[in-house]
Chains A and B, each alone.
Chain A
Amino acid sequence: MSQPKYKILIVEDDKQIQKLLEVSLEEHAFLLKVCGTQKEGISHMVQFNPDLILLDLGLPDGDGKLFVGKIREFSNIPIIIVSARNGEQEIVDSLNLGADDYVVKPFFTGELVARINSALRHVAKKESNPLLKVEGLELDLEKREFRLEDVPLHLTPLEFSLLKFFMQNSGKALTHAQILKNVWGVGYQSDTKILRVFVNQLRKKIEIDPNRPTLLITISGVGYRFG
């Protein structure tokens, strides 16, 4: 255990889930702080200074989405939503408000840990790297060149910026609105048709089997996740 322990703040009111998270995450060598309300959550933000927040949306003192907004006012700390509801709209709203990822109850600990690690990794390589690498893909931002397994491949300018956005945010759940706003611009936020078309085109270039993608994954009702 030479690595410094990551600190995780768990905001969750259900006692059993608290226990489950505690046991399973301690197992993976995280330092934990558990609280049941948003109010406590905010005060722990300052005292405990966590590296990541696990947030339940159904809290006794108000909507968890508002908590995301409050945190985002002063911190870029990764936030992973733990939601019992399968309402996609809730998840989309939270992501648009600045949450980084989400898991839906019931979840497997393995899946949760993977999400946490991915979010932490994302923070670690925050520095702007002109060369993006994910699995076999390479995106050279300086040369504006894309290479697949070292073979240069032609991308249209829009495909390039779309892929760039995906690679820069790899491992993160991205909503349709987020992608459209960042790649196409503010006026395009609800034009999901154009996004569907371009994702389809991009998959044909980067996926081995575009019908069964492994890199550019759809999150139904929410958006996409890359890598």
Chain B
Amino acid sequence: MNEDVLETSDLVLQEIKNRREKGELTLFFGALAGVGKTYTMLRNAKELLKSGTHVCIGYVEMHGRAETERLTQGIPSIAPKKIVYRGSSLYELDIDAILEAKPDVVLIDELAHSNAPTSRHQKRYQDVLEILDNGIDVYSTMNVQHLESLNDLVLQITGVKVTETVPDSILERVDKIQIIDIPPEKLVERLKEGKIYKLQSVEKALMNFFKLGNINALREIALKQAAGRVSKDVYDQYKENKLERWEAVEKVMVCIDGSEFSANLIRYAKRLSSQMNAEWIALYVDDFSTNNREKLAKNIRLAEELGAEVNTVSGQDVGEEILKHARARFVTHIVVAKRKKNFLGKFWRMDIADELLNAGDEFCIISYINKTQEQKLEEHDLDEHTKEEAPLWHYLFGLGLLGIITFGCIVFRNHLELLNVALLILIPVLIVASRGDMKTSMVITFVGVGLFNYFFVPPVYTFVVSDISHLWSFFIFFIVAYLISSQAKKLKLIGEVIREREKRVRRLYKLSRRVTAVSEMKQVIKIAMPLIAESLGKETFFFLRKHVDEMPKLYAHYDPKSPLSSKKYDAMFEKLEAIFISSSEKAVLDWCLDNGKIAGAGTDTFLASDMLYIPIQSREVVYGALGLKIKQDEMTTELKMFLDSVTSVMAVSFERISLSEKNSKNAITLAREELKNALYGSISHDLRTPLASILGMVSMLKTDETWLDEKKRVIISQVIFSAKKMERLMNNLLDSARFESHKVVLKKDWCDIADIFSQAAREFEDILKERNFSIKIEEESGIFKADCVLIERVVVNLLENAIKYSQHGSAITLGFQKEGARCNIFVLNEDSHISEEDLKMVFEKFFRIKGISDDINGSGLGLFICKKIVEAHGGTIWARNVENSVIFEFNVPIEEE
């Protein structure tokens, strides 16, 4: 058991070591293709190769450039993986082969590259990150236009939309950056010579990108970016040295929503904050409006990728919420979109940017004007949302009510004023409008107005209106219907959002409350799985991995659509063999468990997978993964948040359970130890007591000489001898059992070797007179820290052996000397020899040297006990032949204070 603990702690240490040793990322950074990034990278690699570093090419784009191709010769390369996708074969970086080869440095060109759809990661930079995580250094190349935050700036300059982007956080992750720059004229020249692209594409490239003006602009951006990076390094260094005045005081906050324009806003805020060297926050105020959830999620992800801290708050007054949050977080700069409002909107409500300008006078408000016509987009979104058809009975109900009221009004026409009729007809309009459906309410209003006009407005039974003032009343009808139904709709939406949220919170609460009382992992799964599956309406799997080296095993499966599952929750642990998990799914699962990161459908990793895998992990341990059958486009921020909270609740309870299991295991071992101790205690008591009376009685017979004749005295001597032998054997058996079955508990104290030697010698006082016995202590003081009783035991056992295996008159020496931090204790026994074979075996249990006369009695346990005691002290014991003597020697640490 003890070894187990050691082993696992070793593993943990190793793991920590591995984790610390992440690879270094060196980036060759340029303004444009063709400046010579790949070339420089390869040159550098050759230098490294010369110095004996293990360099490998992971992927280098040749672009048919002869120079480059020549340079790659001589550098070992890992063949890229061939991926067949829709009939065409693509070559991609082979991560697994690289991880397998474990080179010191791997060269991976074109950091911004997008991988083929079936690859592990969507983007090559993700591959690079994984390689770095595995402790391999990476050399890579990138152009400035691929940087996410510069995306629209590049678009403005060049008019080319770059689709392959790398998040800015990668640039921050870069350990070393090398700028590759050549004069623009030379670049154009090189291009024309066909050194950059093959000739046929030159014209196209020139047209789009390689205009002299563009080149200069991009160069400027690249140099600025690198300079910014360098100044950040300097800044970080100052920060590390804790120079307070360098502390960042500025903080940028950008307000985002679900619009296309927000993405531009986010990129702008990123640029602003990196120029100011400031932290930045992206804030989304959920005002219960009909925001495009999918786009919002995308924007939030973008902000996260660009390194923002994303916060979400809820509140109807957006402006106020923004200010509240800004004050709470000590924001200095607020970036908001300035919208073009329609004429009515201007009266209706103030623009948020203006509102902030009026109220938040302590902030620097940056309103970014939206020039594109995206207002339309938003309206489109709104339409989409209202597409939900109102049920038919809404119409029937409204029309019926309208008919009844009209009929009543016709009957009682003489008793009613025209105004009363108008108000009565308004009732069904109000009722229908309060349902919040604009279309229905408009239809009902229209019919109502028609009925009112036809039956009541003079001239009656015509749709002609004689008095212009009645037209006004029709108009008011519509306004009322519009206002009420739009308000009702908003309220309904708020209600829905709140209800949905409350439901989720309640589920989580239910989960966490029920899960805290549970003491088995199975119970946790039994509670959590149906909850997740039912609330998402998705098939859910749970994969358990008990040990890091083990294959993950499908542990539970729950299909909310299956009638079996809902009836009996235990069914989810049964018939699992019938479920087939393909090997590609297994690979995704393994990756998820090994990296402790979410993977599969709906993420950026293995997005071609059928399922989403979420690891259940607490700090160090990954307990397993949750699998969810989900489609790529179904992954929303809300779903992610829900899954995050559910899995963290699960992880916490798993951790609690595994800890308490460990505790109870410890308690069991403790109880077992106690029982053992009690058993040894009583056995030794019960065996010794009768032996004591035998020895006592018999020795009394011996003391009185008058009682016995010579013959009987010999018999009594033999009885005493046998009883003593039995006592020794019993002691040895009990001790060896004790030392073997559980850890020897040392009672360490200061020991004097002189004491120990003299005590041991006293045990054999009589017989030592027949030997040439001496004690040799070569030190001023023989004081060391150990369990004195046990060390004495070792010396006694060794001395006993020495006496047994020696002749009359031969020398026996007890010796002691200090050697560094250890002390050596030996027993030398003259005139004896142990064969080399036996020397190895002497410390084994029940081993006895053959060919020794029967006079020598032993159990074969003495040396075994010695070994155990010495080892418990962290020392070693050994035996050797020296000239005509045998030396048994052991050492223990002195352990000075």
Contact = CB atoms under 8 A, between A and B. Distances in A.
A212 B688 contact: no
A218 B752 CA distance: 10
Contacts of A87: 681
A14 B696 CA distance: 14
Interface string B763-789: 000000000000101000101000011
A119 B227 CA distance: 93
A196 B755 contact: yes
B789 A19 contact: no
A220 B696 contact: no
B689 interface: yes
B758 A221 contact: no
Nearest to B750: A193
Contacts of B775: 211-212
Contacts of B758: 211-213, 218
A211 B762 CA distance: 11
A197 B781 contact: yes
A74 interface: no
Contacts of B752: 196-197, 199-200
Contacts of A85: 681, 684-685
Nearest to A195: B750
B754 A106 contact: no
Contacts of B751: 196
Contacts of B697: 20, 23
Interface in A46-96: 58, 84-89
A6 interface: no
Given A14-B689, A106-B727, A221-B789, A200 B684 contact: no
B5 interface: no
B185 to A, nearest CB: 85
A211 B777 contact: yes
Interface in B331-345: none
Nearest to B774: A211
Given A19-B693, A108-B699, A218 B685 contact: no
A16 B691 CA distance: 10
B352 to A, nearest CB: 75
A227 interface: no
Contacts of A86: 684, 731
B781 A218 contact: no
A16 B754 contact: no
Given A110-B703, A193-B783, A196-B751, A84 B761 contact: no
Contact of A108 (B684, B696, B754, B761): B696
A108 B702 CA distance: 11
Contacts of A109: 696, 699-700, 703
A44 B433 CA distance: 104
A217 B763 CA distance: 13
A220 B691 contact: no
Interface residues of B, number: 40
B692 A106 contact: yes
B695 interface: yes
B690 A16 contact: yes
A86 B700 CA distance: 23
Contacts of B754: 200, 203, 210-211
A17 B759 contact: no
Given A14-B693, A211-B777, A23 B700 contact: yes
Nearest to B704: A27
B691 A106 contact: yes
B830 interface: no
A85 B788 CA distance: 18
B749 interface: yes
A24 B693 contact: no
A107 interface: yes
A148 B690 CA distance: 45
Contacts of A20: 692-693, 696-697, 700
Interface residues of A, number: 36
Nearest to A19: B693
Interface in A142-171: none
Contacts of A17: 689, 692-693, 696
Contacts of A23: 697, 700
B693 A110 contact: no
B890 interface: no
B684 A106 contact: no
B696 A24 contact: yes
Interface string A1-35: 00000000000001011011001100100000000
A217 B747 CA distance: 21
Contact of A84 (B684, B731, B749, B762): B684
A209 to B, nearest CB: 9
A27 B690 contact: no
A192 interface: yes
A106 B704 CA distance: 19
Interface in B651-680: none
A220 B685 contact: no
Instruction: Among A107, A108, A110, find the residue whose CB has the most chain B CB atoms closer than 10 A.
Output: A108
B722 to A, nearest CB: 13
B704 to A, nearest CB: 8
B792 interface: yes
A58 B678 CA distance: 13
B757 interface: yes
B735 to A, nearest CB: 10
A86 B730 CA distance: 13
A87 B783 CA distance: 23
A218 to B, nearest CB: 4
B788 A106 contact: no
A196 B695 contact: no
Nearest to B751: A196
Instruction: Among B688, B700, B754, B761, find the residue whose CB has the most chain A CB atoms closer than 10 A.
Output: B754
A105 B788 CA distance: 21
Contacts of A211: 754, 757-758, 775, 777
Instruction: Among A89, A105, A197, A221, find the residue whose CB has the most chain B CB atoms closer than 10 A.
Output: A105
A223 to B, nearest CB: 11
A218 B688 contact: no
A196 B750 contact: yes
Contact of B781 (A14, A108, A200): A200
Nearest to B685: A84
Interface in A110-126: 110
Interface in B142-169: none
Nearest to A201: B781
Interface in A173-217: 192-193, 196-197, 199-200, 203, 210-213, 217
A217 B754 CA distance: 11
A104 B755 CA distance: 20
Contact of A107 (B692, B749, B762): B692
Nearest to B761: A212
B693 A58 contact: no
Nearest to B684: A85
Contact of A105 (B689, B750, B755, B757): B689
A16 B749 CA distance: 37
Contact of B783 (A24, A88, A196): A196
B728 to A, nearest CB: 11
Nearest to A191: B750
A17 B696 CA distance: 8
B359 to A, nearest CB: 72
Contacts of A58: 685
A110 B789 contact: no
Nearest to A213: B758
Contacts of A212: 758, 761-762, 775
* CB-based closest 9 A-B pairs: A105-B692, A106-B692, A16-B693, A193-B750, A221-B789, A106-B695, A196-B752, A20-B696, A218-B755
23 contacts: A16-B690, A27-B704, A58-B685, A84-B692, A88-B789, A105-B688, A106-B688, A106-B693, A108-B699, A109-B696, A109-B703, A110-B703, A196-B751, A196-B755, A196-B783, A197-B752, A199-B755, A200-B752, A200-B783, A210-B754, A218-B755, A220-B756, A220-B792
Given A17-B692, A84-B689, A211-B758, 4 more contacts: A20-B692, A88-B789, A199-B755, A220-B788
